[in-house]
Amino acid sequence: MEDVINTWREEDLNIEPVPLTEGPFLQYTQKIPFTYCWSGALVPKPADWPKHIDVCGFFFRDAPHYEPPAELVRFLEAGPAPIYIGFGSIVVDDPDALTAILLEAVALCGQRVLLSSGWSKLGTSDLPANVFPISDCPHEWLFQQVSAVVHHGGAGTTACGLRYSRPTTIVPFFGE
């Protein structure tokens, strides 16, 4: 992001660029306050963190108005609550290979699944009858319909799964 930030600083703000050797350390050297948006009851703030770093709790929004498609309603009504699997904004190099792994796991456990396509466009090929593909769907509504959630560990998805007391499995891709 150095080039974007320094272009903005120079062209829009008319101030000097941040040297590459200083940029990664500015938040520490300048003690820039920032907040982690997870619950301290889940993961307490480490005792060795300085005062300018805080853990404030999850953010929740009001549930948006949502009318599910008829096909989704039929799938939900046709059997026990499914498991949600989705990795949101994660982009993988080979979505077909990841979809195949997920479908193999689903077959082994014999569960019904809602498979979110996400940014990787998972599940765009033929899916078995026990796997229903979904795209954008508010988690505030969706997680009240499922038995468990499998996701990449994003703060919002984690918070929503916990809010609705759904067992959660996090599949880390990087940094989660």
* One pLDDT digit (tens) per residue for the chain, 176 residues: 788 989 999 999 999 999 888 888 888 888 999 898 888 888 899 999 999 999 998 888 888 999 999 999 999 999 999 999 999 889 999 999 999 999 999 999 999 999 999 999 998 778 999 999 999 899 999 999 999 999 998 888 999 999 999 999 999 987 65
CA–CA gap between residue 113 and residue 172 (Å, rounded): 20
Closest CA to 81 of 176, 148, 5, 152: 148
Give residue limits of the domains in the chain: 11-55, 70-170
CA–CA gap between residue 157 and residue 84 (Å, rounded): 11
pTM above 0.95, yes or no: no
Handedness of CA 85, 155, 139, 118 (dihedral sign): negative
Residue 95 to residues 20, 89, 153: CA-CA distances in angstroms?
Answer: 35, 13, 18
pLDDT digits (tens, 9 = 90+) for 40-49: 888 899 999 9
Cβ atoms of 139 and 156 within 8 Å: the answer is yes
Give CATH superfamily name and number for 70-170. Answer: Glycogen Phosphorylase B; (3.40.50.2000)
